[in-house]
A and B are shown apart, each in its own frame.
Chain A
């Protein structure tokens, strides 16, 4: 019986269909990405002559000159600084607030939670005009801080909504035990709660990082000097500036998307795992 099942599964008629569909999906997904990367190894002359041929010969000049340009590196650094600072800010402020909302009994608690949840309905687009003026008055236009602080603020609602269930899920007995052992609530927070809520923290961290790394509208309005650009702004500016040199734009765009791809490949499991918790609870 078991042998026949195994054999059937091995030659299941649906298997080829499934692989076909999967390959089709994968093809449609990556074709543009592969085109960018390979296109960067061609010359613009080659591209014009035949848009889809393989590089003949393979040219390294485009990638070399992008990698040698200080603009690319300063923009990559700006993106990294902005994304890391946003992530750190969101996770720190978010976990502190979520801790109180999850584990303290007090009158204003539900109201506070509601106040933060309402923020899920305020996309940055709605607030962008007054935000721009505020940043102007605070002297933050043109600086990365002007991007980081609002990004932290707008990422807080989803962070808190994801973290509160994580922090609640840690059994009260642990807290009681810690209290009996003489640990304060704050000590409990640092020594027990933070380590145990690791997966939740990673999820919100990854979401904040990806969101900040890809952000466009806020940096577009706040940053005006090309040396302060983040990569998305840099890619757009570069593609306009070098619109005659398609191969160069392909190389620049390929290199700009590389960090996000590497980061995501590492964090993929965490994103799926973390969303499971968020979606269900």
Chain B
């Protein structure tokens, strides 16, 4: 544990010191004797303190409210209008945009694709990431180089990754040539143009891109698994696999649950790579809610309708987040997202 590790200090000193300081100040004020400089400072303190609070929080709050909260609220507002972004907002249509979206087979299909990515990403990336993280957590030669290399896809921008894979997967391109070379030439497909194949191709590329993030998280989580436990088990004769199975992986639980949360939210929002690689095509076979929204909201200037899609996307993510926090993350008493400051 490094001295800067926040959790160690935070959990122990938090309650006492916060409560201590809160009580100390009013007490000091009550037995004021105006001559002592410390007390004078405290006396002026409360107004000055409010000023400091305002000065320090205001810039962040203004930017955040103006550019995050306000647009989200406005999206809900626009979503009940039929509007192309020009002229006054007056064609009130109630929930028409919502019923239109939810009765459009293309949008339902897009939701289905998101669901596919949610489940498939968890199933594909989770086991791979846990395996690689456990491996890289062992003492081995060249470990730090392996670590750096495995994170590369995560650092590359979505667009660069997507363009790279477009080039690699093009017909008669390098990937097909590799297939040919290893004798799998018959399995070649139109990786991004076949209606039935495209979403699996995207899943593979998306997994390639994001599995590194999962590995980073798991390696971070593994640093919190006390060595004494695994050493004790080894002395008792447990094999490496038994140690991982019964000690390390269970202790990694909170990290796995947070990763799953982030992965699911990410899969629901999936946009960049799909947009660059297929634009949601062919024939909407790989569209997601986000690509559908950009198609209608911007390319066809249906801002009211696009906003309704945004709201649906948000409601789905939000509902999921609430349920997940209530039933899954709640088990992790240390979940940073689940508790307030105090």
Q: A residues touching B (Cβ–Cβ < 8 Å)? A: 14-15, 18-19, 21-22, 25-26, 28-30, 32-33, 35-36, 39, 50-52, 89, 93-94, 96-97, 99-102, 104-106, 109-110, 112-117, 119-123, 125-134, 149-150, 152-154, 156-157, 160-162, 164-166, 168-173, 175-176, 180, 185-186, 196, 198-200, 210, 213-217, 221, 231-233, 235-236, 239, 246, 249-250, 253, 256-257, 260-261, 263-265, 268, 271-273, 275-281
Contacts and interface: CB of A to CB of B under 8 A. Distances in A.
Given A216-B158, A264-B155, A127 B75 contact: yes
B83 to A, nearest CB: 10
Interface of B: 4-11, 13-14, 17-18, 20-22, 38, 49-50, 52-53, 56-57, 59-61, 63-64, 66-72, 74-75, 78, 85, 131-132, 135-136, 138, 140, 146-153, 155-161, 163-168, 172-174, 176-178, 181, 208, 212, 216-217, 219-221, 223-224, 240, 254-255, 258, 265, 269, 271-272, 275-276, 290, 293-294, 297-298, 303, 306-307, 310-311, 313-314, 317-318, 321, 334, 336-337, 340-342
A133 B85 contact: yes
B5 A277 contact: yes
Given A52-B181, A272-B219, A221 B149 contact: no
15 contacts: A25-B132, A29-B212, A33-B156, A51-B174, A93-B60, A106-B50, A127-B310, A134-B71, A154-B68, A170-B9, A172-B13, A214-B158, A233-B159, A256-B160, A276-B224
Given A129-B78, A260-B156, A165 B10 contact: yes
B221 A154 contact: no
Nearest to B241: A14
B227 to A, nearest CB: 15
Nearest to A240: B163
Contact of B52 (A104, A149, A215): A104
B51 to A, nearest CB: 10
A232 B17 CA distance: 47
Nearest to A265: B148
Nearest to B172: A51
Nearest to B11: A281
A123 B340 contact: no
A58 B51 CA distance: 65
Nearest to A15: B140
A254 to B, nearest CB: 9
A277 B7 contact: yes
B337 A127 contact: no
A268 B150 CA distance: 11
Contacts of B303: 129, 133
Interface centre among B4, B265, B337 (most CB of A within 10 A): B4
A13 to B, nearest CB: 11
B271 to A, nearest CB: 6
A277 B293 CA distance: 36
Nearest to B170: A246
B104 to A, nearest CB: 18
B310 A232 contact: no
A163 to B, nearest CB: 10
A280 B59 CA distance: 28
B91 to A, nearest CB: 16
A210 B155 contact: yes
B224 A280 contact: yes
A102 B149 contact: no
B174 A52 contact: yes
A126 B160 contact: no
Contact of A26 (B21, B150, B269, B313): B150
A25 to B, nearest CB: 5
Contacts of B176: 51
A129 B313 contact: no
Nearest to B146: A22
B153 to A, nearest CB: 6
B156 A93 contact: no
Given A127-B67, A169-B5, A221-B298, 20 more contacts: A21-B131, A22-B140, A22-B146, A25-B146, A35-B164, A51-B173, A150-B67, A162-B336, A165-B7, A169-B6, A172-B18, A196-B4, A233-B159, A239-B167, A257-B157, A260-B155, A268-B148, A271-B216, A275-B220, A281-B11
Contacts of B56: 96-97, 99-100
A127 to B, nearest CB: 4
